[in-house]
Amino acid sequence: MLFHVRMDVRLPHDMPEEKAAELKRVEKARAAELQQAGTWRHLWRIAGQYSNVSIFDVRDNDELHAVLSMLPLFPFMQIEVMALLRHPSSIRDGDR
Amino acid sequence: MLFHVRMDVRLPHDMPEEKAAELKRVEKARAAELQQAGTWRHLWRIAGQYSNVSIFDVRDNDELHAVLSMLPLFPFMQIEVMALLRHPSSIRDGDR
Amino acid sequence: MLFHVRMDVRLPHDMPEEKAAELKRVEKARAAELQQAGTWRHLWRIAGQYSNVSIFDVRDNDELHAVLSMLPLFPFMQIEVMALLRHPSSIRDGDR
Amino acid sequence: MLFHVRMDVRLPHDMPEEKAAELKRVEKARAAELQQAGTWRHLWRIAGQYSNVSIFDVRDNDELHAVLSMLPLFPFMQIEVMALLRHPSSIRDGDR
Amino acid sequence: MLFHVRMDVRLPHDMPEEKAAELKRVEKARAAELQQAGTWRHLWRIAGQYSNVSIFDVRDNDELHAVLSMLPLFPFMQIEVMALLRHPSSIRDGDR
Amino acid sequence: MLFHVRMDVRLPHDMPEEKAAELKRVEKARAAELQQAGTWRHLWRIAGQYSNVSIFDVRDNDELHAVLSMLPLFPFMQIEVMALLRHPSSIRDGDR
Amino acid sequence: MLFHVRMDVRLPHDMPEEKAAELKRVEKARAAELQQAGTWRHLWRIAGQYSNVSIFDVRDNDELHAVLSMLPLFPFMQIEVMALLRHPSSIRDGDR
Amino acid sequence: MLFHVRMDVRLPHDMPEEKAAELKRVEKARAAELQQAGTWRHLWRIAGQYSNVSIFDVRDNDELHAVLSMLPLFPFMQIEVMALLRHPSSIRDGDR
Amino acid sequence: MLFHVRMDVRLPHDMPEEKAAELKRVEKARAAELQQAGTWRHLWRIAGQYSNVSIFDVRDNDELHAVLSMLPLFPFMQIEVMALLRHPSSIRDGDR
Amino acid sequence: MLFHVRMDVRLPHDMPEEKAAELKRVEKARAAELQQAGTWRHLWRIAGQYSNVSIFDVRDNDELHAVLSMLPLFPFMQIEVMALLRHPSSIRDGDR
């Protein structure tokens, strides 16, 4: 089941650089795991923003929330979720 | 080059049903062509809305505008565009 | 799987009264069926508005969209959807 | 009498972890009491947010405010309230 | 129990003048009845707007909705409702 | 002359508790004086918010600003002002 | 007593040209009268908009509303009102 | 050439009182100079806000920006600018 | 003197096609004249929108308004204006 | 390929003056380089704001993001991006 998620990262200006670097490192590792597992199906950067647009493929809403709320950057992100489904005009097998 | 496009369709309530049906038919045919050509790379319905989220893969901004503005439903859609790019944490070959 | 849905009804002022009455009659019948089936789990009116707040229990996003988009009043409603899940502090068996 | 309440929690980034943990612990205990008393009738998490959607069943506006303003997390929440009532199409005994 | 209600009237430009005049006449008569009954406790015009700010004193949310939704101008008004209660700093007997 | 004023209080999280308590104490005393003088004609709490809705009766805009800007909590409030007047449908002597 | 008023004119596209011209003619005549009387103290056009920014000098809120609501274009304008007063840093005699 | 400028002052709560007082003193002196020079043509306080509405008369956009950006409170203000011009219905010689 | 102008065109759906075509033809001719005169200095399409971003070079606000308000599509456009000036970091001779 | 970029700078009030001055110095040097390279094609100040409007000419979205996200002030700016293209009514050779 697919969800569209936009994440805007807002790190406090007074966060020590090492802490920020460590957060980004573990976030990146976690993102790689979730992509390999097929859960984080697409991940794009929005030009000019410290933000991404993502497509998640999860069993249900519970799994979506568990995945998002355990991301290392979760406390520093504003997140918007939209439930997606196959479009009747789609001809692409993967988009379901 | 990738763009994120959200389209919200707003057909006037007084549009004759046959005109609406014809518009949707040609829109669907055009969407199929653009997907086959690889231009309209992803297409999803947003749950509960007469709206879609799409990813377009175009040569440049000119092609993006040409494709969108010639869609049969263009006069009846509100459209939002965001420029996308590969995310540094993406491990998926296709998302570029 | 639970979804929170808010529906705001906007009937055009020039819709003939009989058509409005017929739409409301079939909407009410459909709402009763969906409640009996357990799909439309809660349904409340918002005070002072021609609007409702509802909780739907569906298999997945596809079923949610199918249910909403086939409501007789769908073309005349503005709809907002939020994915819900069990709250860790909930002690109520039914809210899952 | 029913009210729809949305609560968005915003803990300051510089709050010590023990203080945050203690606040959440007493908030959870208070939520359990209010649910057992029938005052906090429904409680759901919104997917991807540190937020909940709740239905309160109270005698009047005074009781609603007393309950909300004495929640341990009240100073750190943005709260929206909507008055609800039985929907004419509802067939569910409990939703009144 | 008190509620704060703002009503903004939007009559369609093509409504015949007699219909508008008749609607306003019955609205005014209904407002007088509700004021005499103590239900519509305060009623003020907002300067420069075809809008009012009102305080209603009702038994519960059901009565509030019944009163508002049966106003003759209801289909032509945008309405916002806020639940009020006695302020701890109020010294005025009537404001409860 | 009547004005509708909404005040939303936002105390900084790091304000010492004694300072907050002292501010609230003098605010409450000042509110009592202004109510006794007939200047602060109505004062209600908004359910679920650290906010009030008030009606002020002042000679002119200057007096309104003087009264509001000298409230002890003024530096910590977001304030919205609307000019009110007697509604043509009002039958209540006091609402002028 | 001074008020800041912004008026945005929105004439329906299907209004007959003669009706629009007549409305503008009487609006202009009325504006001249109110300026000569000292009530409409300042009147400026906003560049690129069919809108004006005005300063009114009236006895009270009632007079302000009477003046605005009887403008010929009132049914076709969106109006915003702000109460003004002398600024403590103003050295200009006229701005009070 | 005239511009409409709204300035909302937001001093940080932790600014030392002497610094705030000194900033306001030099701001007031600068405002007096600019009014005497005819550049800051009108200056009013908005009731209930730490804000002003002003009319500037400048040679061009460069002078407007130079004047605004060198105000002592500039780093602590949110500013909105609108280009104004003589209104065709204005009969007042000064409003050009 | 430079101004940034964004224009969003909203033609009513029931405008006859010939009228729309004629409006666009004269708009295009007028745009060409203003570009040749150096008044309409830059003109770009926004991708996916029936909108443009433009830079105008005019003597003053009056000329800007005269130019914009006499465009054939003016009654069907939403327009936003921002006053621009040379940026201190600009090294480009033409951008003044 | 052209992009319209608006940048609003928000330096924290507690940033040391030397750090701010150094950031602005390197930002200015970088802006000069990018202008000389033809990448930052236009750069204007918005009157009354610590903001600019810019036109970038880049190969693709990746280059746009690389350029913006490496600006020294990037962590302190709010940025909005719009994809532009040649307008069919443009007669200016450079605007493509």
Residues 6+ apart with CB under 8 A from A68: A5, A56, A74, A79, A81, D47, D48
pLDDT above 80 for I96: no
| Any J CB within 8 A of B65 CB | yes
Measure the N-to-C terminal CA separation of chain F; round to a whole number of Å.
7
Q: Which of C46, C49, C52, C53 to mutate to test the interface with E (most CBs of E within 10 A)?
A: C49
Does residue G17 lie within any of the structural domains?
yes
Answer whether residue D96 shows pLDDT above 80.
no
pLDDT at position B95 is 79
The DSSP secondary structure of B60-74, one letter per residue, reads SHHHHHHHHHTSTTG
User: Would you say residue A92 lies in a domain?
Assistant: no
DSSP for F54-67, please give it: EEEE-SSHHHHHHH
- Confidence check: pLDDT of J96 > 90: no
Q: What's at B11, amino acid-wise?
A: L
Burial F10-34 (b: 16+ CB within 10 A, else e): ebeeeeeeeeeeebbeebeebbeeb
In a domain, G96, yes or no: no
Residue H65 contacts J, CB cutoff 8 Å: yes
For residue J91, being part of any structural domain is answered with no
Q: Single out the residue of H60, H93, H76, H63 nearest to residue H26, CA to CA.
A: H76
Q: What total number of domains does chain G contain?
A: 1
Mean pLDDT of chain C: 96
Residues of F whose CB is below 8 A from H47: 3, 61, 64-65, 68, 81
What's the distance, CA E32 to chain centroid? 11
Strand, coil or helix: what is B42? strand
Cα separation, C83 vs A65, in Å, equals 9
The pLDDT of residue I76 is 96
- Check if H78 contacts J (Cβ < 8 Å): no
Question: Inter-chain contact F45–E84, Cβ cutoff 8 Å?
Answer: yes
Are J89 and I31 within 8 A, CB to CB?
yes
Kindly state the percentage of chain C with pLDDT values over 90. Answer: 93
pLDDT at H58: 98
Secondary structure (DSSP) of J40-56: EEEEEEETTSSEEEEEE
Closest partner residue to D90 among C4, C43, C87, by Cβ? Answer: C43
Report residue H31 as tokens: 């405002």
What is the mean pLDDT of the segment spanning A43-56? 98
CB distance from B64 to chain I under 8 Å?
yes
Of A13, A45, A48, the CB nearest to J5: A48
Output the pTM of the full model: 0.96
pLDDT at A8: 98
Q: Which chains touch B (3 or more CB pairs under 8 A)?
A: A, C, I, J
Testing the interface with F: which of G82, G85, G95 to mutate, by most F Cβ within 10 A? G85
Mean pLDDT, range D33-57, rounded to an integer: 97
Mean pLDDT in residue range D47-53 = 98
Q: Mean pLDDT over residues B11-24, rounded?
A: 95
Q: For position H94, what pLDDT does the model report?
A: 78
Query: Taking CB atoms and an 8 Å limit, are H45 and F65 in contact across chains?
Result: yes
Find the largest Cα–Cα distance for chain H. Answer: 49
DSSP label of G88 = T
* Residue A29, pLDDT above cutoff 80: yes
Any bridge partners for residue C5, and if so which? C54, C81
Q: Given a cut of 90, is residue F66 above it in pLDDT?
A: yes
Question: E–J contact (≥3 CB pairs within 8 Å)?
Answer: no
Contact D52, D43 (CB under 8 A): yes
CA distance I64 to D38: 64
Please report, for residues G69, I2, I7, I37, J41, the alpha-carbon distance to residue J93 in angstroms, rounded to integers and kept in the order given. 51, 20, 21, 15, 14
Of I13, I45, I50, the CB nearest to B12: I13
Measure I65 CA to nearest chain J CA, in Å: 18
Specify the CATH number for the domain of residue C61: 3.30.70.1060
| pLDDT at res. H93 | 81
Question: Which residues on chain C are in Cβ contact (under 8 Å) with A58?
Answer: none
CB nearest to D81's CB, from E2, E60, E83: E83
In a domain, F93, yes or no: no
pLDDT tops 80 at residue A77: yes
Residue C96 placed within a domain: no
Closest partner residue to B48 (CB to CB) among C12, C15, C79 is: C79
User: Chain J residues with CB inside 8 Å of B61's CB?
Assistant: 1-3, 83-85
The mean pLDDT of chain D is 96
Q: Is the pLDDT at B96 greater than 80, yes or no? A: no
**Of I13, I47, I50, Cβ closest to residue B81:** I47
pLDDT bin (cut points 50, 70, 90) of residue I6 is: very high
Tokens 């730490």 locate to H50
Distance CA(C82)–CA(J10), nearest Å, equals 33
Minimal Cβ distance to C79: which of B13, B45, B49 = B49
- Say if E13 is an interface residue toward chain F (CB within 8 Å): no
pLDDT tier for residue B92 given thresholds of 50, 70 and 90: confident
Residue numbers in chain G where pLDDT is lower than 50: none
Mean pLDDT of B11-21: 94
Dihedral (CA of B82, B85, B88, B90) sign: positive
B32, pLDDT greater than 80? yes
CB contacts, 8 Å: B42 with chain A:
42, 55, 92, 95
Number of CB pairs, chain I paired with chain J, less than 8 A apart: 95
With a cut of 0.90, is the ipTM above it? yes
With H, G, I as helix, E, B as strand and everything else as coil, classify residue B44.
strand
Range with lowest mean pLDDT among C41-45, E60-64, I35-39, J92-96: J92-96
| D33 has a pLDDT exceeding 90 | yes
From CA J85, how far away is CA J65, in angstroms rounded? Answer: 18
The residue ranges of DSSP E strands in I47-93, in sequence order, are: 51-57, 77-86
H95 and chain G in contact, CB less than 8 A: yes
**Tens digit of pLDDT for each residue in E36-91?**
999 999 999 999 999 999 999 999 999 999 999 999 999 999 999 999 999 999 99
- In this predicted structure, the answer to whether residue D17 has a pLDDT above a threshold of 80 is yes
E5-43 confidence digits (pLDDT tens): 999 999 998 999 999 999 999 999 999 999 999 999 999
Touching chains D and E? (3+ Cβ pairs < 8 A): yes
Q: What is the pLDDT of residue I92?
A: 85
Considering only alpha carbons, which residue of chain J is nearest residue H13? J13
Find the CB nearest B47 among C15, C65, C75. C65
DSSP state of A76: G
When pLDDT is cut at 50, 70 and 90, the band that residue I85 belongs to is very high
Q: Which two tokens stand for residue G31?
A: 């504006």
* Domain membership of residue J70 as a residue range: 2-84
Q: Do C35 and D91 touch (CB under 8 A)?
A: yes
Confirm or reject contact between H89 and chain G (CB < 8 A). yes
Any bridge partners for residue B55, and if so which? B4, B42
Give percent of chain J above pLDDT 70: 100
| Contacting subunits of F (3+ beta carbon pairs below 8 A) | D, E, G, H
pLDDT band at J92 (very low <50, low <70, confident <90, very high): confident
Within a domain: G38: yes
H contact residues 20-59, partner J, Cβ 8 Å cutoff: none
Round the CA-based radius of gyration of chain F to a whole number and report it.
14
Measured CA to CA in angstroms, residue A88 lies from B19, B27, B44 at distances of 19, 11, 9
Report the candidate in B74, B83, B84 with the shortest Cα–Cα distance to residue B8.
B74
In this predicted model, what pLDDT tens digit does every residue of F10-48 receive, in sequence order?
Answer: 999 899 999 999 999 999 999 999 999 999 999 999 999
| Chain C environment of A3 (Cβ under 8 Å) | 61, 83
Residue B59: what pLDDT?
97
F89 inside domain: no
Which pLDDT does position B50 carry in this prediction?
97
Regions in chain H scoring below 50 on pLDDT: none
pLDDT at E95: 79
- Beta-carbon separation of G65 and F82 below 8 A: no
